[in-house]
Amino acid sequence: MCLGIPGRIVAIVDEDAMLATVDVSGVRRAVDVVCVATPGRPLADLVGAWVLVHVGFAMSLIDEEEAAATLRVLAEIGEAEAELEAIRTGSVELPSPPVIPAAT
């Protein structure tokens, strides 16, 4: 599954390379903003904007409300992941999966 993670643009790193620093839940990374930049406008106009970040690119602009809702969903997924991890580590008994013979 491919996720876009909400982050806020906090600084422009390199105007020519179209790189900005994005804060994603307290982690700051350089991100390419070519997909969200407005031609003819300075990148500095993007500082403070919320974006969806995927594999090092800001893919789209979003509003703060959408960012907050997406972060809530991701937190819920994280809670689900913790429960799945409990299942993986044996905290919950599961039936044994069927044995599939190896192809020859």
Q: Into how many domains does the chain fold?
A: 1
Do the domain assignments include residue 21? yes
User: In the predicted model, what is the mean pLDDT of residues 75-103?
Assistant: 54
Whole-number pLDDT of residue 80? 45
Do the domain assignments include residue 56? yes
Whole-number pLDDT of residue 38? 94
Asked whether residue 65 carries a pLDDT value surpassing 50, the answer given is yes
Question: How far is residue 57's CA from residue 82's CA, in Å, rounded to a whole number?
Answer: 28
pTM of structure? 0.71
Do the domain assignments include residue 99? no
Do the domain assignments include residue 101? no
Q: Letter for the amino acid at 75?
A: A
**For residue range 4-42, what is the model confidence (pLDDT) as tens digits?**
888 999 999 999 999 999 998 888 889 999 999 999 999
Question: How far is residue 19's CA from residue 102's CA, in Å, rounded to a whole number?
Answer: 48
Do the domain assignments include residue 24? yes
The parent domain of residue 24 ranges over 5-88
Most confident of 12-16, 67-71, 78-82: 12-16
Domain with residue 58: its CATH number is 2.30.30.140
Do the domain assignments include residue 98? no
CA quadruple 15, 35, 73, 66: dihedral positive or negative? positive
